A and B are shown apart, each in its own frame.
Chain A
Amino acid sequence: MFSSLIDTSFSLNDLWFMLKGAGVTLAVTFWAVLAGTLLGLVLGVVRATAPWWVNAPIGFVLDIFRSVPLLIQLVLANAFKPMIGLNWSSFTVGCVVLALYMSAYCTEIVRGGFLAVPATTRRAARSLGMSWSQDLTEIVFPIALRVALPSWIGLTLGVMKDTAMVWWIGVVELLRSSQVIVTRIQEPLLVLSIAGLIYFLMSFPIARLGARLERRWHEND
């Protein structure tokens, strides 16, 4: 289709192949962000409220997920999965490892948001007769959400780009499919530009949504 404009072998089929890869990227991102956020929410509240002897081991494990490069985590998890009798696909391993990675960062974001709610505000809620759980759902979570959202958006965009690494354990996502085409038609600049554009188009709505929510909340601050 481009051959009439510039001299290229890139075909519509190639574009379709890359879009399918983008679909995989979106799927991995979706599951990793969903599971990672839910786990991060629970662990973040635990981290903000539990005594040190609960906190210390959780913090230690999360530190591992945060400090070992993602690539190493993916390769190791994929290599060790048969040893513990798991019959997962590479796709599942990729989602699980990325979800744990996401949750490790998300935990700290949630904890930070939780601790940003002033104790005096929570005391005011309790003094009105609200229970501990009402204080959490009506006061702490809504306020913490406003504090945590920008970091969470940044993390989500980061995880979307980090999905490129699941290529190493054999998942054909956007970057891998681009690489396949580059190998065949030998036009890396064109293909990677298109891949970059697709990544941008996937990230842009999330970034916009975040900016919109932030602006709306900011008007009330």
Chain B
Amino acid sequence: MSIEINDVHKSFGPLEVIKGVSMTVAPGEVVSVIGGSGSGKSTLLMCVNGLEPINSGRVLIDGTDVHDRRTDLNKLRRRIGIVFQQWNAFPHLTVLENVMLAPRKVLGKPKAEAEAIAVEKLTHVGLAEKLKVYPSKLSGGQQQRMAIARALAMSPHYMLFDEVTSALDPQLVGEVLDTLRLLSSEGMTMIVVTHEIAFAREVSNRVAFFHQGRIHEIGPPSQVIGNPQKPETVAFLKSVL
């Protein structure tokens, strides 16, 4: 029961964005991925749940090869939730319907059960008051929390977060980070791509510093953030702190 990333290479045309990345995420572990723009962090998350194909290497989720052609990706993705920088609300559905949709259509749950799940998850992220509202009436932070509830409604074993606070106004970042803190305290296994260094330091078991398509440094936050060994890590942290 883990996410195993093994020597993954990924190119867009002639541009190789991931140049041999290996990493294992154990159950209950929170791994934060930090690094500059274009370092391949977000692409790696897409490769983990098969939204992007890879050129070589392997990604194993609980032993299932994500990029094996025989793997049923729709089925596999039920186990891995992902939340993006852009929250991607379904604009034609209410908040409740947004969260109910996948449990109903993908898991085939009856309406009442899907609704109960959705209400529970939305209450969990603090949106119990907004069930009947359309996403356009929510703030960015609320929409992002709705997106998190939407992913959680599938009862995933793993959650991937792709810079979920980058598109938010500064005063809204806190509420989303609180939701992530809550999840980590509940033992959710998470990979969190983030620019929030203080947050990464606080919640992560390990921090991976990405640089030019490779993991340059990985270890406990006290090491990678508190006492970085590589000059690139030092330079990056200096630029963002």
Contacts and interface: CB of A to CB of B under 8 A. Distances in A.
Contact of A129 (B78, B91, B92): B78
16 contacts: A121-B88, A123-B88, A124-B84, A125-B90, A126-B51, A127-B81, A127-B82, A129-B75, A129-B77, A134-B105, A138-B90, A139-B90, A142-B92, A146-B92, A221-B91, A221-B134
Nearest to B94: A220
B18 to A, nearest CB: 18
A131 B91 CA distance: 19
Contact of A130 (B49, B74, B91): B74
B90 A128 contact: no
B5 interface: no
Interface stretch (B8-16, B55-63, B113-121, B146-154): B146-154
Contacts of A127: 49, 51, 77, 81-82, 151
A130 B77 CA distance: 9
Interface in B65-109: 74-75, 77-78, 81-82, 84, 86, 88, 90-92, 101-102, 105-106
Given A123-B51, A220-B134, A128 B91 contact: no
A138 B86 contact: no
Contacts of A139: 90
Q: Count chain A CB atoms within 10 A of each CB in B49, B84, B92, B101 and give the residue with the most.
A: B92
Contacts of A220: 91-92, 134, 136
A118 interface: yes
Interface of B: 49, 51, 74-75, 77-78, 81-82, 84, 86, 88, 90-92, 101-102, 105-106, 134, 136, 147, 150-151, 154
Contact of A128 (B75, B134, B136, B154): B154
Contacts of B49: 127
Contacts of B81: 127-128
Q: Count chain A CB atoms within 10 A of each CB in B51, B90, B150 and give the residue with the most.
A: B90
Instruction: List the 3 closest pairs (A to B, CB-CB), nearest first.
Output: A124-B88, A128-B102, A220-B134
A129 B101 contact: no
Contacts of B134: 220-221
A138 B101 contact: yes
B92 A128 contact: no
Contacts of B101: 128, 130, 138
Contacts, number: 64
Nearest to B92: A142
Given A124-B84, A127-B77, A217-B92, 18 more contacts: A121-B88, A123-B84, A124-B90, A127-B51, A127-B82, A127-B151, A128-B77, A128-B81, A128-B150, A129-B75, A129-B77, A129-B78, A129-B106, A130-B74, A130-B102, A130-B105, A138-B105, A221-B91
Q: Dominant SS at the B interface?
A: loop
A120 interface: yes
A143 interface: yes
Q: Dominant SS at the A interface?
A: helix
A80 B106 CA distance: 52
A3 B88 CA distance: 66
Interface in A102-138: 118, 120-121, 123-131, 134, 138
A129 B136 contact: no
A201 B169 CA distance: 51
A129 B102 contact: yes
A123 B150 CA distance: 14
A143 B92 CA distance: 6
B77 A126 contact: yes
A83 to B, nearest CB: 49
A143 B91 contact: yes
A130 B154 CA distance: 11
B77 A120 contact: no
Contacts of A129: 74-75, 77-78, 102, 106, 154
Nearest to A124: B88
A130 B106 contact: yes
B92 A124 contact: no
A99 B185 CA distance: 61
Contacts of A146: 92
B41 to A, nearest CB: 17
